[in-house]
Amino acid sequence: MATPIPINRPVRVALVGVGKICDLTSRAYTQSVEAEVVGLCDPDSENLERRGRQFPDAARFSSLDDLLQSSIGIDMVEIGVPTPMHCEVACRVLDAGHHVNLQKPMATSLDEADRMIAASHASGAALRVMEPFIFFEPLETLKAVVESGEIGDVAGFHMKMVGTGLGGWDVPWSTLSWQFRQMQDKGLGILVFDDGWHKFAVANWLFGPVAEVMAWVGQTKFSDEIVIDAPATIMWNHVNGVRGVFDLTLAPDTYMRSKYYSSDERFEVTGTKGFARVNHCVAYGLNQPSLEVYSGGVMRSYHELDDDWGTSFVRQTEHYLRWLRTGEGELVLDASKSREVLSFVLAAIESSKQNTPLRLSAAV
């Protein structure tokens, strides 16, 4: 049976899959009074040992079976296993009655997403997919500016991402290799599907569900094993009529300053009276204010927003913990919104394969 919400004490959390991104997902838990990490689970002994040093009081498990059969008392599981394993691991955790904070992308197919949603309904445990970008303060402020009407009615939305291998933190081969296999096995690549998820989620969060999408997803081969799903250009219409474009370019020899991944990003909403643009997110490609707003002939720059992408991981976890502790307010992103995002990204990839625009209800 699932722990009833609200949870009137610190949430007891187990971290399952404690690889690279756990460097950021674990941050919130090292400083939170709302939660306590009671369990760590990973078959990789080095990763388990490293996290064990970070959370010395947590019990360690090398298999999910052992964790789920233990009596440590868990309310919520933070799942950070490779994406192709999300469905299997999340269903078992939900079946055991534990709430879930799942890494993005939600799943590799809508069928997998539906199985997880069914498991959540059956046990009553909550299924939430984490999304740091929508907790990134410059993007939150851009949304508020757009909704204030300052730039007029929304006329269009443009996102840009430049991928490069130079700059940022080190990513071990064990982390990259399953991503490249996922591309080979399922055609779901590291830029459009895995990283692109963030951008599709931002579009959905700003302007709601998508009616129709058209994409050209190219491939760049670096070796038999390493194939990148770029360059890519993706165009869509939201149900509310807003037109969006996401353009993704590879510039492998460009250095990009970053504390995290070396992806350079831009988000720009054009209104009938001006525009609002976020100049960087994960990396610092443009050393300009994180948000600029042009309206009425005047350019306004935001210099004080927290533009450290790592902070948005802490904030998204705090949001979920608050929701579990109070049961109040809207949970972002809940499972059904996440399924909409999944349907959007899969339809984009499918439309490129078929070389035709796809309506979302009929797409995948």
Ligand X SMILES: NC(=O)c1ccc[n+]([C@@H]2O[C@H](COP(=O)([O-])OP(=O)(O)OC[C@H]3O[C@@H](n4cnc5c(N)ncnc54)[C@H](O)[C@@H]3O)[C@@H](O)[C@H]2O)c1
Which spans of this chain sit near ligand X (rule: CB under 6 A)?
A: 16-21, 41-44, 47, 64, 80-83, 85, 89, 103-104, 132, 174-175, 178, 194
Q: Are 127 and 117 in contact (CB under 8 A)?
A: yes
Our CA angle for 232, 236, 242, nearest 5°, is 135
Smallest separation (angstroms) from ligand X to the CB of 301: 27
Of the pair 102, 358, the CB lying nearest ligand X is at 102
Smallest separation (angstroms) from ligand X to the CB of 1: 23
Of the pair 18, 242, the CB lying nearest ligand X is at 18
Token reading at 355: 């070389």
Smallest separation (angstroms) from ligand X to the CB of 130: 6
Of the pair 86, 99, the CB lying nearest ligand X is at 86
Selection from 211, 194, 206 nearest residue 159 by Cα? 206
Smallest separation (angstroms) from ligand X to the CB of 153: 32
Of the pair 134, 206, the CB lying nearest ligand X is at 134
CA dist 95 to 2, 91, 127, Å? 9, 6, 11
Token reading at 101: 């904070």
Question: Starting from the edge strand earliest in sequence, which strands make up the sheet with 291-295, in order?
Answer: 298-302, 291-295, 274-278, 264-271, 154-163, 243-250, 232-238, 210-217, 358-359
Of the pair 22, 242, the CB lying nearest ligand X is at 22
Of the pair 16, 345, the CB lying nearest ligand X is at 16
Q: Which residue has the tokens 């049976």?
A: 1
Smallest separation (angstroms) from ligand X to the CB of 323: 18
Of the pair 17, 274, the CB lying nearest ligand X is at 17
Of the pair 196, 271, the CB lying nearest ligand X is at 196
Smallest separation (angstroms) from ligand X to the CB of 80: 5
Cβ-closest residue to ligand X? 19
Selection from 80, 78, 41, 34 nearest residue 58 by Cα? 41
Smallest separation (angstroms) from ligand X to the CB of 41: 5
Selection from 178, 200, 199 nearest residue 190 by Cα? 178
Selection from 353, 364, 361 nearest residue 214 by Cα? 353
DSSP 37: E
Smallest separation (angstroms) from ligand X to the CB of 154: 26
Token reading at 246: 């996401």
Show the 3-state SS of 283-324: CCCCCCCCEEEEECCEEEEECCCCCCHHHHHHHHHHHHHHHH
Q: How many CB atoms lie within 10 A of CB 8?
A: 8
Q: How many CB atoms lie within 10 A of CB 261?
A: 18
